[in-house]
Structure formats: structure tokens, C-alpha cells
């Protein structure tokens, strides 16, 4: 069963939360971070992307960058920008984007659960990305990156969350520059805290990493380096009941047709797909339906029965696209390393696909129906992993609101 615990979060003074909280470190590059933090000395990007305070030509993975992050974090603490909770608490975190809300519980999850596969994964991790977070955590002695975790709904946990939201004043409530509203409530009553811990221990057999596989893997490795630290045996997580979550589409653009003429490519597609012209951009409405944009024209592709398997991986649209188009026709064998393919989160819209193709940079674009949360659970339960870039979660949790000290 799942082991989560309350923790003494390092968090901003309430009046500074909106100014300090920043987008996750892995959704913007160094140049974007410099621009975003310009004129804001307490942006948490000074901790998560601390290269912005150093010469632009410096290797962003050098120890100097991590030392700068530590210096900046310690300055925030010394100046009273950040304070540490005086006792272990849980936190309820609500995000509202485009009128849709989702609410999770922030606590710390057990590294042992991660190692024992009580916390299930659906993606491979890359060593170089793990190393960056390991070096960051080890140096600053804190985990700043929140791991986004899902679980199957438990009515009693839902009721606690709802009651807290309806009867208590939040400690933070602000709308970020991207229009997403962030609201946080503190759960500090011992009876309620103990009840939440017990409910997870008795009613949640497994949790599932939705977003943050590298953060979780890095935290697990750091814990081995700090065997004397009880806090390092847990890592920062926000756990969401599955009913609260929406997965967005994650679309693809390809640079060329692998030597094929457009007409030949369209003809070959008909072996595995029904193809119809579309007068408008195609946002697939159901599983096994795809949009394709090529030479200024949108098409609807529907996978023919018998061209895919019905196991948890084979039935995924990202797998069908990978097997029957990307690999079979376009020669894209490894999507992780092939420079001919790029991935575009659904939040950027179908117009971004058209833009990339119309510019001549890319030859063809594909829009996909989003993976469902049940598919994610099924794949993780089966012990398999999804193809690269299968899921896109929005809205993103902000860094800096709640930090776990090691």
C-alpha cells in the first residue's frame, strides 16, 4: 500500500508567492528563464535555473551552476523570503486553467515505494537528465521539483479535500502570468493529517507517476547517498485522484518523407489506414483516429482493423503511428534520438503544426487523440512503458511554492 507523509515545507511568505513561484525548470530553456526572471530578484528560477545569474557561455551542468543555486536558496531563506513550516503538514493544491480545475494533495512519497514498484512508472529515464537533478539536489540539499502522481479515486480522501477547500482560507491564491490560478491550503490539524496518511496506507494499493519520472529517479538515487537522512527517504509529490486529471494530446512533426514523393506516401498509407480529406484542421475525436497535415491539406486517418494489437501498448495511438507510419514508411526507428522528428504539446494547438509544415522546416504533421488516464494505469500495471512523448499534462505545478528540504 502507498506510503505518503506530511512534511515541513519550505515555502514563500504569502504576499510573495505569486512573485516567487516559477514554471517548472524543464519547460523552459536558459534564455527563456533569463527573460522570465528579468527584473525579479526573488523568482524561483534563480534556484532552479541558476545559470541565469552566471555568464551565458558557462556549461549549465557545471558545479558552479549548482553552487549558485545553493547560494540563491540560502539567500531567500536568510532574507525571510522563504520560511519553513514549524510542523509536518499536508497541502491541498488547486490549479485552474481555462475554467477547469484540478486539485491534488502535496506530501512526500516513499523512496522505498518507488523501488518496490508501489509507485508505478510508464516511461524510461535518461541518465544525463537524472544526473542534472541529482547534482542539483545534492548541492542545494533540497528537492524543488514536484513529482506529479495519480491514483484511483478514494471517496474518503476526496471528501477531506473538498471539506478543506470549502471551509478554510487558502494560504496562497494568485493567478500567474500565463493565466493559470494557483491556490494552496495548509492541512495542519493532527487528526486530519493522520487520517490522510492512514487512508493511503489502507485504501491506495498503488500510485502512478504521471509527470516527473526523472525527478523521482533522481530523488531515489540521492536517498542512497544520504542514508542517515530520514527526509531523503521521501520525495516531493503532488498526488491527484484520476478523476481530476486530463491528458492532452502530444503531436508529431517530421522533417521529410524518407525519400518518398507525397503521392506515393499517401498511396502507401492506405494499406493501414482509411484516408479522407478534411476541409479543416483535424483534432481526433476518438481512439485510432489521426489528423495529418501535408502540402497545405488536412486528412483524417483511421487505423484499419487488424493493423494493430489489442495489448496495453499495441492499442495506443502513439504505438500505431510509430509502427505503421513513422518506422514502416518514414524510417524513424528511435524517436528519442532521431533528429528528423519533433514533438509538440497539444496546448500549443493545431496551428503550430501547420506553422511548422508551412514554413518548410517540416514536411508532415500528425495530430493524435490523447492517451487516457486508464490507459496509463493499464500500461504501468502491466510493467510496460509507453513510447516516448506519449502524454502531456496541463496545467503544470509551479516550482517554489513548496520545497522539500533533505
Task: Please choose, from the candidates 156, 19, 182, 203, the residue with its C-alpha nearest in 3D space to the C-alpha of residue 103.
Answer: 182
**All domains of the chain in start order, with CATH:** 4-247+394-405 (no CATH), 250-369 (3.30.1760)
Alpha-carbon separation of residue 369 from 160, 188, 202, 221, 236 (angstroms): 34, 41, 35, 35, 31
Q: What is the pLDDT of residue 3?
A: 96
In order along the chain (406 residues), what is the average pLDDT of each group of 10 residues?
Answer: 97 97 91 95 97 94 96 98 97 95 96 95 83 93 94 96 93 95 97 97 96 91 83 94 91 96 96 97 96 97 95 91 96 86 88 96 96 90 84 90 96
- Would the pTM of this model clear 0.75, i.e. be above it? yes
Question: Which residues, 6+ apart, have CB-to-CB distance to 39 below 8 Å?
Answer: none
Q: What is the pLDDT of residue 232?
A: 87
DSSP 3-state assignment of 9? coil
Helices of type H across 176-239 = 190-203, 213-225
Q: How far apart, in whole angstroms, are the C-alpha atoms of residue 1 and residue 302?
A: 41
Q: How far apart, in whole angstroms, are the C-alpha atoms of residue 67 and residue 248?
A: 36
Q: Determine what percent of the chain falls in helix, strand and coil, rounding each to the nearest 5.
A: 35, 25, 40
Count CA within 13 A, CB hemisphere, residue 319: 17
Alpha-carbon separation of residue 249 from 107, 246, 284, 317 (angstroms): 28, 10, 9, 11
Is the link from the previous residue into 385 a cis peptide, with omega within 30 of 0? Answer: no
Q: How far apart, in whole angstroms, are the C-alpha atoms of residue 206 and residue 2?
A: 6
Q: What is the pLDDT of residue 240?
A: 96
Q: What is the pLDDT of residue 12?
A: 98
Q: What is the pLDDT of residue 288?
A: 96
Q: How far apart, in whole angstroms, are the C-alpha atoms of residue 171 and residue 282?
A: 42
Q: What is the pLDDT of residue 125?
A: 80
Cell numbers that stand for 182 in this block: 494557483
Q: How many helices (H) and strands (E) does the chain have?
A: 13, 21
Cα 213 off chain centre by: 8
Q: How far apart, in whole angstroms, are the C-alpha atoms of residue 373 and residue 242?
A: 7
Q: Label residue 385 exposed, middle or buried (CB < 10 Å: 0-12, 13-18, 19+).
A: middle
Amino acid at each position: 500500500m502507498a506510503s505518503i507523509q506530511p512534511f515541513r515545507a519550505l515555502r514563500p511568505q504569502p504576499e510573495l508567492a505569486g512573485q516567487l513561484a516559477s514554471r517548472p525548470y524543464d519547460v523552459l530553456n536558459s534564455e527563456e528563464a533569463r527573460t522570465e526572471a528579468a527584473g525579479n530578484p526573488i523568482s524561483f528560477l534563480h534556484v532552479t535555473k541558476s545559470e541565469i545569474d552566471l555568464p551565458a557561455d558557462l556549461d549549465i551542468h557545471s558545479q558552479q551552476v549548482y553552487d549558485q543555486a545553493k547560494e540563491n536558496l540560502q539567500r531567500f531563506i536568510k532574507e525571510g523570503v522563504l520560511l519553513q513550516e514549524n510542523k509536518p503538514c499536508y497541502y491541498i493544491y488547486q490549479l485552474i486553467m481555462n475554467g477547469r480545475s484540478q486539485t491534488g494533495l502535496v506530501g512526500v512519497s516513499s523512496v522505498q515505494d518507488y523501488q518496490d514498484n508501489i509507485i508505478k512508472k510508464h516511461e524510461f529515464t535518461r541518465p544525463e537528465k537524472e544526473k542534472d537533478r541529482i547534482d542539483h539536489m545534492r548541492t542545494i540539499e533540497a528537492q524543488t521539483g514536484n513529482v506529479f502522481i495519480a491514483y484511483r479515486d478514494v471517496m474518503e480522501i476526496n471528501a477531506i479535500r473538498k471539506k478543506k477547500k470549502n471551509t478554510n482560507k487558502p494560504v496562497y491564491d494568485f493567478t500567474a502570468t500565463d493565466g493559470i490560478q494557483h491556490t494552496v491550503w495548509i492541512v495542519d490539524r493532527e487528526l486530519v493529517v493522520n487520517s490522510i496518511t492512514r487512508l493511503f496506507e489502507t485504501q491506495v494499493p498503488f500510485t502512478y507517476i504521471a509527470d516527473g519520472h526523472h525527478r523521482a529517479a533522481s530523488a531515489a538515487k540521492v536517498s542512497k547517498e544520504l542514508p542517515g537522512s530520514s527526509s531523503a527517504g521521501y520525495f516531493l509529490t503532488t498526488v491527484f485522484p484520476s478523476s481530476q486529471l486530463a491528458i492532452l494530446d502530444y503531436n508529431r512533426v517530421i522533417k521529410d518523407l524518407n525519400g518518398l514523393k507525397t503521392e506515393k506516401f499517401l498511396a502507401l498509407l492506405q494499406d493501414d489506414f482509411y484516408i479522407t480529406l478534411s476541409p479543416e484542421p483535424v483534432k481526433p475525436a476518438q481512439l485510432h483516429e489521426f489528423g495529418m497535415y501535408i502540402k497545405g491539406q488536412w486528412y483524417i486517418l483511421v487505423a484499419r482493423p487488424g493493423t494493430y494489437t489489442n495489448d496495453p501498448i499495441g492499442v495506443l495511438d502513439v504505438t500505431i503511428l510509430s509502427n505503421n507510419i513513422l518506422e514502416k514508411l518514414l524510417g524513424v526507428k528511435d524517436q528519442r534520438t532521431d533528429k528528423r522528428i519533433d514533438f509538440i504539446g497539444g496546448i500549443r494547438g493545431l496551428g503550430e503544426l501547420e506553422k511548422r509544415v508551412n514554413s518548410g522546416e517540416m514536411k508532415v504533421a500528425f495530430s493524435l487523440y490523447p492517451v487516457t488516464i486508464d490507459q496509463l494505469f493499464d500500461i504501468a500495471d502491466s510493467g510496460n512503458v509507453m513510447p516516448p512523448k506519449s502524454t502531456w499534462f496541463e496545467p503544470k505545478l509551479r516550482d517554489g511554492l513548496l520545497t522539500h528540504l533533505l
